[in-house]
Every structure is written in C-alpha cells, then in structure tokens.
Structure 1
C-alpha cells in the first residue's frame, strides 16, 4: 500500500508541480533577479528581509530558494535554522506565511527532507501560520518514502533532536491529518502510536483526526475502539463533535445496538453527553424498529434532565405499546410527568 501511495504522490507532483507554477506575465529575468536578491540576503545573513522579498513576488514558488541546494547539507541545515530563528520576533506573523510555505515545500522536495522539514513545519504551526494545502501531499509522500526505508515513526521524529528541536503533538497531528487526507489511515495510526515513544503525548486532535478518518471509511468497530482507548487508557475527554461523528456513522450503518453500547460506555465514564446525541440515537432506534432500545434511551436521556421532542415521545410510546411493553410505557410516561412534559 505504501508503494502504491508513493507512486500516486510522485505522479501528482510531477504532473502539476503542486500548483506552484508562476504566472507567465512574470519574466524569467524578474524571477532570476529576485532569486539573486534572496541569495544575497542569505549570504549577508539579512534573513529578516526574506519574508518581504518573497511577498513582493505574488507566486509562492519554492524554486526561488533552490540556490540553498548549492550549500553543503550541514551548512544548509544551519542556514535554514538561522532563518527560522530570525523569523520568531517578526510581526505581524501573517507576513511570514509565504516564506514558511516556500521553505517547507522546497525542503520537502529535496532528496533528504527530514528532520529539517519537520522543524520548518513546527515553526510554521507555532507561528499561527497554516501551511499551503499542497504541503500535505508533499509531506505524506516524503513520510512514506522514509517508512519504505524501514525507519520507524519514533526514529523519524527523534531525529529532530539532532538539529536542536523536539517532536511535539502539533507537528505529529499535521502528519497524521496529512496521511489521513490521502487514505493512508494505517500509517496515520502508526504515527499516533509512535508519538509516545518519541516523547510527545497524543491529544484530542491526534485521536480526533484518526477517528474521523475511520468514520469516513465506515470502520465503525475501529472508531469505537479508538474512542474507548482515548477515554480509558489515555484519560482524554473526547470532543463533542468526535462523539457525534461516531454515533452518526453507527446510525448510518444501522449498527444501532453498538451505538447504544457506546452511549452506555460514555455514561459510565461520566462523559457529558449532549441532548443531540440522545435525540439522534432515539431516532435511529425508531428507524431500526428497536422500540425497546428507544424506550431505554429515553429513560437514560430523561435521567440527565433532557426531554425528547413531542413527536419522538409519541413515537416511542406508540412503538412500545405495539410491542406489548406496557411496563416500559408506564415508566416512560411517568418520567415525562415527573419532568412536566
């Protein structure tokens, strides 16, 4: 699967140049002039001029930094690190977006992009800038290339320390979401599991990206198991949208009993379930003609002070009565009376 994904990524890169084609109205001489100016700024260590120089050229073309390849690898790493450090005090940070994007995409397309590319990505994210969309494909392609060389996730991440940086969850989460974006869920899960060995703990975004990808591909059992893992083993409280996505997928696949079990698990863990989660689950039970489950969910719902909409209340009572579940009908009606609905 990795080999197939690499071929797909490479072909995409060569065919489209990832959208970094510069406008034909820009003459070759102006491009060369800007590249020479950038090169002079680097040689003079006037790194803080780089963002404005790149912003003056409207096209975000990483080829403008191709002169950096003329430096030996260690020198190039040091120069880019000095550039990154010089950017830290610059304001507003939005003016750095083009410079970060060009540095990141140039490095990701170099023969040996890691760990330098990860340090650039880390600084980009910490500055509040968002990498250009094409960076995800470049990063995923480079990451898969590293894995094809039998390197572990922890090894790739820990190499950051060799150049004075440390792996963090933000950088790892970007890698995870990038892999999910090209249907490499298995590799994204490996990053999630390898983060701890690299010294950074997965957070809500880490699990949220993986669970979201599992739901998109209807891997419901895996999604529920991952949800339980983040709650029980890691001690995280899932975001409401993550829980809603899991329940919505279970309802869509008509795995309503598994959805009810998931709700019951979250209740035992004292998770603050919202009205919408219960309401949609009761609707799902009714659609699947699971009237007894619907009644039990209504009881659980009202125990938390939530009252179903009147149309749902009527359908639940009617469905239970049709099944001969009169004891449950009485209990549900009594609960509605107690809540004055």
Structure 2
C-alpha cells in the first residue's frame, strides 16, 4: 500500500472531526485528494478551513493535485464540488475552498480551463462571497490572453461556459469588468460591457458605472462623459447618483467646469434626475473658476428642481455677479431665491 494512502486511512477519522493534526503540507494535500477521490465533497470546506488556513504560507495550492487528472475528469470533479457546496449553510462556508479552487484554475495556463474558472467565479459570487483581491490580476490576465490569442468575441468567450453546463450572468460579467478596471484595462472593460448582451447578459447602469468611475479615477473625463451619454441614449439606462457625482467631481478637478455643466444639461434633457449634491458640486466649481454667470445659470436650474444652494454659496453667486456688473442676472437670481423663501 502506498505511504500516502496508509496515512490517509490511518488519520482520516481524525481529519473528519477536524482536530489539529501535526501533519506536513504534503500529507494534508494527500488527505484532501482522498476526500475528492471518494467524492465526499461536502467535507472539503471544513477540512480546508481547519487544516490549511493556519498554514497558508507553508503550502502550495491544495488543489494542485487536480493537474494529474485528465481535463474531462478535472471538469467533472470541479463541477461536482461546486454542486455539492450549494446546499451548505451558511452559504459563505466554502469561501476558502472557492478561493483556492479559483486561484488554481486561473494559474493553470491551459486555455480550456478558463470556462471552468468562470464557473467557479459564478458560484463564489452567488454564495455571497467575493474572491480575494489578487483574483482581479489573475482573472484579467487570463481574460486578455483568451481574447487576444484566439481573437474571440466577448460573447463567444462568455458562452464557452455552456460547454460545461453553466451560463454567463451579469454578476460574473460585472466582476470581469471590475477586474479589468482594477488593472487599468479600461478599453477592454468597455468592450466587455458592450459585448455581454451577445451572451444574454444585458448590461445595467452598474456595469457602465464601474467603468465610468474607473475613468474618473485616472482623469479620463472625456471618455467617461462619452460613455455616460452612450449608456443613456443607446441603452436607455439611468446613471446612478454616485456615478454622476464622480464624473462631475473629476471634471471639476480637471477644471473642465463647462463640460460638467454640459453633463447636467444633457441628463436633464434626457429626463434623468440630477441630485442636490451634483448641482452644488458644479456651482462650487463655477465659483472657483470665477464663472459667475454660469454659476447663476446652474443655480436657476437647481431651483427649478426644488433645490436651494447653501447660504454661503448663494451669497458668493450674488457677490460674484455684482463684481462683474451683471446686476440684471444677480437680481433675477436673488428674486428666485426670495420666492423660495431663502
């Protein structure tokens, strides 16, 4: 009998009770392999959490042994694991198992493993868990390799999941988009957002919002503004409040206040509500740039929506207009404030 098999048979009852065992990483990996080969998958989450979480720095990925099996058998084993984890409660219990499994598959360079990685990612997200941050780098790298080497469309890459019995969804696509944004692959992130509908995943405002927010972080305000216009006009979506604020804040930081005003004007024209914070942010940007007439114009729009600027901002608008002899506009703005009992 092989030494590792004798070890498993001798200590398996103890490992099943998840007591502390003074075993080498190799012995623990052999024990995990025995659990997988016996199809006792429901014991994997507790086993990994108990035996591997305390010694992560000392071991390689515990699922590395899967590479010794043919591809079809690997797919079958992983699929059976994922299905066995579904009824486990609490749902986040297999989190560490998902993490190791996803990391192993993404680090395996064989291209046929990528649909399997998406399946594990999907089950991770549906369990209410988020992959570890390093997953962004591994996933985006694997995605780009898949797209560039095989010249496949976004939809075709996503639909490869069907070959192993899984189907792409918006949650999986959204994590791919956020991963690409995390490594500054914004152009590819846009491609994914626009191409995911071909795989039956209709992009929502959050899909676009992730990319627009990433563009704002690196001050690519023109691209962010164009993408927001596209999502509103071509996709009929309404950007959420946070996304609008981030874009306007980036435009203000870039001293592109006229563009910021254009964003508000565009959204209002298209029937999208603009919040108080967005108006206030743009008015303050106008005042910083001494664009007092523009500030008065935005303030008038703001009052038409039932919003009133803060008292210090109101005073700055009036004083600024007076300082450039725009008394007529200053009086009109003051009268509007007065009507609103401000």
Q: TM-score, normalised by structure 1?
A: 0.89
Deviation at 1:277, TM superposition (A): 1.1
Unaligned stretches of 5+ in structure 1? 1-25
Deviation at 1:266, TM superposition (A): 1.2
The one of the two structures with greater contact order (alpha-carbon pairs below 8 A, sep at least 6) is: 1
Tell me the secondary structure at the aligned position of residue 146 of structure 2: helix
1: CA distance between counterparts of 2:61 and 2:292? 63
Unaligned stretches of 5+ in structure 2? 1-19
Alignment of 1:294-305 (within 5 A): 294-305=295-306
Q: Any idea what the Cα deviations from partners look like across 1:74-97, whole Å, max 9, x if unmatched?
A: 111011001000000000122211
Alpha carbons 1:139, 1:175 under 8 Å: kept: yes
Aligned pair 1:42/2:36, yes or no?
A: yes
Select 2:64's aligned residue among 53, 63, 66: 66
Deviation at 1:205, TM superposition (A): 2.3
Q: Any idea what the Cα deviations from partners look like across 1:6-43, whole Å, max 9, x if unmatched?
A: xxxxxxxxxxxxxxxxxxxx999521222111111111
1: CA distance between counterparts of 2:48 and 2:122? 20
Tell me the secondary structure at the aligned position of residue 130 of structure 2: coil
2: CA distance between counterparts of 1:27 and 1:291? 73
2: CA distance between counterparts of 1:313 and 1:109? 58
| Counterparts in 2 of 1:320 and 1:208: CA distance versus 1, 3 Å | same
Tell me the secondary structure at the aligned position of residue 321 of structure 1: helix
Alignment of 1:287-326 (within 5 A): 287-326=288-327
Q: Any idea what the Cα deviations from partners look like across 1:23-67, whole Å, max 9, x if unmatched?
A: xxx999521222111111111111101101100121456621111
Tell me the secondary structure at the aligned position of residue 341 of structure 2: coil
Alignment of 1:270-285 (within 5 A): 270-285=271-286
**Count of residues in correspondence between the two structures:** 316
2: CA distance between counterparts of 1:323 and 1:332? 15
1: CA distance between counterparts of 2:64 and 2:278? 52
Aligned to 1:203: 204
Deviation at 1:204, TM superposition (A): 2.4
Tell me the secondary structure at the aligned position of residue 133 of structure 1: coil
| Counterparts in 2 of 1:226 and 1:62: CA distance versus 1, 3 Å | farther
Alpha carbons 1:62, 1:102 under 8 Å: kept: no
Deviation at 1:335, TM superposition (A): 0.6
| Counterparts in 2 of 1:28 and 1:203: CA distance versus 1, 3 Å | farther
1: CA distance between counterparts of 2:237 and 2:118? 26
Alpha carbons 1:34, 1:53 under 8 Å: kept: no
Aligned pair 1:52/2:46, yes or no?
A: yes
Select 2:96's aligned residue among 72, 91, 98: 98
Aligned to 2:14: none
Deviation at 1:187, TM superposition (A): 1.4
Alpha carbons 1:154, 1:194 under 8 Å: kept: yes
| Counterparts in 2 of 1:193 and 1:28: CA distance versus 1, 3 Å | farther
CA RMSD of aligned residues (A): 1.7
2: CA distance between counterparts of 1:39 and 1:295? 71
Alignment of 1:1-341 (within 5 A): 29-56=23-50, 57-58=52-53, 59-60=55-56, 63-112=61-110, 113-149=113-149, 150-341=151-342
Deviation at 1:308, TM superposition (A): 1.2
